[in-house]
Structure 1
Amino acid sequence: MHAFAQALSDPALRGAYLAFSLLLLILPLVLIWLWYRQRDKAGTVDRPMLIRVGLLTLLWMVVNAGALGFLMWAETVKSAGG
């Protein structure tokens, strides 16, 4: 963990990590939206599928919140000098 915190002290790497995290957050949601839109046009949308999409979106947000929280923790470790 300390090595990862040290690696994130580099501003370029930290920026790349943030960009990657943002991509991980947005890209799947856009893909799910496009997939859902295509199914809606075909008239094959059902309630269980809507629930699955909602749960997947919620799970994805929690995972990304954890990743960004880890980044904030690493920033705190770096600024504390330890």
Structure 2
Amino acid sequence: MNETRETRIKRMKMRSMRRGIKEMDLILSAYADRNLQNMDAVGLANYDALLQENDQDLYQWVTGQTSPPEQFVDLVADISKTFQK
């Protein structure tokens, strides 16, 4: 699929707010609204990969209950800052 940057960001925003558990809907949609427009292609690809992960795992990573995979350490730390505000 060949999507434009704008379409990709819209898709990821929608996926961020339609997760499966309400907590992750709130956390990721707030993060997406604040940050996706300013991300470069690598950042968007990493966030897109994060969206493929299980909500229960994501919640534990963001809340510091468990450590995320190395690929997501910086991104999860950034999301956690948004969550803690």
- Under a length normalisation based on structure 1, what TM-score does the superposition of the two structures give? 0.33
Q: Which structure has the larger Rg?
A: 1
Could you say which structure has the higher helix fraction? 1
- Under a length normalisation based on structure 2, what TM-score does the superposition of the two structures give? 0.32
